[in-house]
Amino acid sequence: MASKTIKMAQTSLLLTLLSPTSLAAQVQHGGLTVTYSDARDRLQLGAVFRAWDAAARDLKALGLPPPAKVSVFAASGAANFTALTGESANIAASTRGATIYTQRLTALALSGRLPITIRHEAFHTAQPAGTPRWLAEGLARTFSGKANNDPPGLTGLGNLSADELDARLLSRDPARLNAAYTEATRRAGQTVRLKGWKAALAGKLSP
């Protein structure tokens, strides 16, 4: 009872943060709840649901079903996204447990990133607890298909330890951050190719 009250208070605080001037809208799609505050984002809901359904099906096939209930909070703009998450404006989305925070859905759609972002964050909702940051990001980018756009060749970060790579993934400098994401994806993707998803998820890394 008490925790439910706290949860409701958190939700209404979030709604206030999401939409300081107008009422946020909330839409249900199976176990997925999407809350948005820019009315134009309604036009993107179909794309969100399609990407979510495909990701959930593919995650289940990997033995990684996403949580039964997942919430998506779409920010009203980049500044609002930063206020909600503390992340910088160039980050598309951020997931904590079963809650996904995204940039404005229309902004993600216009930059061609909406389906891949939903798929990436769907992976984060389903990843095993305790997965190291670099492995989680590398596997999420492999799962989403984003890895296909990575530049070929070495990243120059091949000598970093796992801990050093984790630290680099917290960088605020977009160039350093991109190289770290690419390196994490190269390592994770190699394990998936050589040993399969189950071994990669269990942290059984290829040398």
Query: CB of residue 135 vs Zn ion: minimum separation in angstroms?
Result: 11
Residue nearest Zn ion (C-beta atom): 140
Question: Contact between 169 and Zn ion (CB under 5 A)?
Answer: no
Q: Around 10, how many Cα atoms within 13 Å sit in the side-chain half-sphere?
A: 10
- Considering only 56, 91, 107, 140, the residue that binds Zn ion (CB under 5 A) is 140
Q: Least distance to Zn ion from the beta carbon of 137, Å?
A: 5
165 part of the interface to Zn ion, by CB under 5 A: no
Q: How far is the CB of 124 from Zn ion (least distance, A)?
A: 6
Residue 105 Cα distances to 46, 96, 129, angstroms: 11, 18, 28
Q: How far, in Å, CA of 195 to CA of 50, rounded? A: 29
Number of residues that this document lists for the chain: 207
| Cβ contacts of 78 within 8 Å, gap of 6 or more | 89, 103, 104, 107
**Is residue 74 part of the contact set for Zn ion (CB under 5 A)?**
no
Query: Binding to Zn ion by residue 147, rule CB under 5 A?
Result: no
3-state secondary structure of 143: helix
**Of the ranges 13-21, 37-45, 137-145, 161-169, which one interacts with Zn ion (CB under 5 A)?**
137-145
> Which residues bind to Zn ion, rule: CB under 5 A?
137, 140
